Amino acid sequence: MRKLKDILYRVEIKSVVGSTDLAIDFIAFDSRKVKADTLFVAQRGSVVDGHEYISQAIAQGATVIVCEELPSDIVDNVTYVCVEDSDLALAHMANNFYNEPSSKLHLVGVTGTNGKTTIATLLYNLFTNIGYKVGLLSTVKIIVGKKVYETTHTTPDSLTINYYMNEMVAEGCEYCFMEVSSHGIVQKRTDALNFRGGIFTNLTHDHLDYHKTFAEYRNAKKIFFDQLSSKAFAVTNVDDKNGMFMVQNTKAKLITYGLKNVSDYKGQILESQFSGMLMKVNQQDVWVQLIGAFNASNLLAVFSVAVELGVDFQEALLQLSKLTSVAGRFQYIVGRDNITAIVDYAHTPDALKNVIETINSIRTFNEKLITVVGCGGNRDKTKRPEMGQIASELSSKVIFTSDNPRFEEPSEILEQIEAGVEPQNAMKTIVVEDRKQAIKLACQQAVAGDIILIAGKGHETYQDVKGVKSHFNDLEIVTEFLKQ
Ligand SMILES: CC(=O)N[C@H]1[C@@H](OP(=O)(O)OP(=O)(O)OC[C@H]2O[C@@H](n3ccc(=O)[nH]c3=O)[C@H](O)[C@@H]2O)O[C@H](CO)[C@@H](O)[C@@H]1O[C@H](C)C(=O)N[C@@H](C)C(=O)N[C@H](CCC(=O)O)C(=O)O
Ligand SMILES: Nc1ncnc2c1ncn2[C@@H]1O[C@H](COP(=O)(O)OP(=O)(O)OP(=O)(O)O)[C@@H](O)[C@H]1O
Ligand SMILES: N[C@H](CCC[C@H](N)C(=O)O)C(=O)O
Ligand SMILES: [Mg+2]
* 339 shares its domain with 296: no
pLDDT value at 171 more than 80: yes
Which residue has its alpha carbon closest to ligand 3 atom 2? 347
Whichever domain contains 355, its CATH number is: 3.90.190.20
pLDDT value at 292 more than 70: yes
The pLDDT, as a whole number, for residue 273 is 87
The ligand minimizing its distance to the Cα of 140 is 4
* 67 shares its domain with 141: no
Domain end, chosen from 66, 97, 128, is at: 97
* 47 shares its domain with 115: no
Indicate which atom in ligand 2 lies nearest the CA of residue 206.
25
160 Cβ inside 6 Å of ligand 1:
no
User: Measured between alpha carbons, how far is 247 from 252 in angstroms, rounded to an integer?
Assistant: 8
pLDDT value at 397 more than 70: yes
Q: Are the CB atoms for 140 and 124 separated by under 8 Å?
A: no
pLDDT value at 437 more than 70: yes
Residue 189 Cα to ligand 1 midpoint, Å, equals 11
Residue 299 Cα to ligand 4 midpoint, Å, equals 16
pLDDT value at 410 more than 70: yes
Mean pLDDT of the chain: 96
Which burial class, exposed, middle or buried, applies to 106 when counting CB atoms under 10 A from its CB (0-12, 13-18, 19+)? buried
Task: Please state the domain count of the chain.
Answer: 3
Best residue among 30, 155, 383 to mutate for probing ligand 1's pocket (most ligand atoms within 8 Å of CB) is 30
* 255 shares its domain with 348: no
* 167 shares its domain with 84: no
Whichever domain contains 289, its CATH number is: 3.40.1190.10
* 268 shares its domain with 372: no
Stretch 431-452: mean pLDDT: 97
Question: pLDDT > 90: what percent of the chain?
Answer: 94
Amino acid at 231: K
* 244 shares its domain with 363: no
The pLDDT, as a whole number, for residue 211 is 65
Lowest mean pLDDT, pick from 43-47, 136-140, 216-220 = 216-220
Residue 376 Cα to ligand 2 midpoint, Å, equals 16
pLDDT value at 240 more than 70: yes
Binding residues for ATP are: 112-118
pLDDT in tens, 192-208: 999 999 999 999 866 77
Give the up-direction half-sphere exposure of residue 348: CA atoms within 13 A in the CB hemisphere. 14
ipTM: 0.96
Which residue has its alpha carbon closest to ligand 3 atom 13? 379
* 337 shares its domain with 274: no
User: Measured between alpha carbons, how far is 322 from 195 in angstroms, rounded to an integer?
Assistant: 27
pLDDT in tens, 247-291: 999 999 999 999 999 999 999 999 998 889 999 999 999 999 999
458 Cβ inside 6 Å of ligand 2:
yes
Which residue has its alpha carbon closest to ligand 3 atom 1? 154
51 Cβ inside 6 Å of ligand 1:
no
Residue 348 Cα to ligand 2 midpoint, Å, equals 8
Binding residues are: 31, 112-118, 154-155, 181, 187, 189, 379, 403-406, 456, 460
User: Measured between alpha carbons, how far is 318 from 312 in angstroms, rounded to an integer?
Assistant: 10
Q: Are the CB atoms for 196 and 106 separated by under 8 Å?
A: yes
Domain end, chosen from 275, 299, 322, is at: 322
* Alpha-helical segments (H) within 79-228: 86-97, 116-130, 158-170, 182-186, 208-211, 214-226
pLDDT value at 77 more than 80: yes
Stretch 240-252: mean pLDDT: 97
* 399 shares its domain with 444: yes
457 Cβ inside 6 Å of ligand 3:
yes
457 Cβ inside 6 Å of ligand 2:
no
Give the up-direction half-sphere exposure of residue 121: CA atoms within 13 A in the CB hemisphere. 19
Whichever domain contains 91, its CATH number is: 3.40.1390.10
pTM of the predicted structure, to 2 decimals: 0.94
* 62 shares its domain with 107: no
* 255 shares its domain with 135: yes
* 58 shares its domain with 171: no
The pLDDT, as a whole number, for residue 275 is 87
Which burial class, exposed, middle or buried, applies to 424 when counting CB atoms under 10 A from its CB (0-12, 13-18, 19+)? exposed
155 Cβ inside 6 Å of ligand 1:
yes
User: Measured between alpha carbons, how far is 422 from 392 in angstroms, rounded to an integer?
Assistant: 8
113 Cβ inside 6 Å of ligand 3:
no
Domain span including residue 475: 331-483
Domain end, chosen from 259, 293, 322, is at: 322
29 Cβ inside 6 Å of ligand 1:
yes
